[in-house]
Homo-oligomer: A and B are copies of this chain.
Amino acid sequence: MSPQITTAPDEGTLLRIQDVAADTGLTTRAIRYYEEIGLLEPAARSDGAYRLYDASDLERLRFIRSLRDDAGFSLAQIGQLLEDEAARERNRRRFRTSGDQTERRVLLADATARVDRQIATLEAKRARLDAMIADARGRRRHLDEHLANLDGGPDPHPGEGRHPAPEAG
């Protein structure tokens, strides 16, 4: 419990690209590439032009990775989802420096609209996935019925023909 420690400042920590890579599970090349195509700018640069990332950068990179790996979006789509980082940053600064309640409300409303669009996009994707799952469940039920037919009475409706083949694959 020493009153002043220089290790683990935590709050204003800036990481170099390799540490960021380790933390996020991305490669340094990928991170630079994301910067190249405008997905994020590092919070700062060192005197020697080293890229320096803060906590919010890490969050953003993890989000990008999640959208890429978990949701399967292309980087172009991810760019659409994140939409205009510059405006976002401007808004942040304006929000912090603004004493005007009305302006703060407008900025928050903007942020809300962006998040709502993200949610809508993600839910649309989930709906399509759900449809596919339902479809697969249907195929599964179909197979189960065939199994039931084999176990119970063999050949209930002989010349049926709704399905060309019993689908054994």
Contacts and interface: CB of A to CB of B under 8 A. Distances in A.
A128 B70 contact: yes
Nearest to A95: B168
A94 interface: yes
A27 interface: no
A125 B129 contact: yes
Contacts of A96: 165-166, 168
Contact of A154 (B56, B101, B108): B101
B119 A136 contact: yes
Interface size range on A against B:
35 or more
A115 B91 contact: no
A34 interface: no
A132 B70 contact: yes
A17 interface: no
A36 interface: no
Contacts of A122: 129, 132-133, 136
A13 B113 CA distance: 50
8 contacts: A66-B128, A66-B132, A72-B125, A92-B167, A101-B154, A111-B168, A112-B144, A115-B143
Given A70-B132, A92-B165, A126-B130, 7 more contacts: A56-B164, A72-B72, A95-B168, A96-B165, A109-B147, A111-B143, A126-B133
Interface of A: 11, 55-56, 66-67, 70-73, 88-89, 91-92, 94-96, 101, 104-105, 107-112, 114-116, 118-119, 122-123, 125-126, 128-133, 136-137, 139-140, 143-144, 146-147, 150-151, 154, 164-169
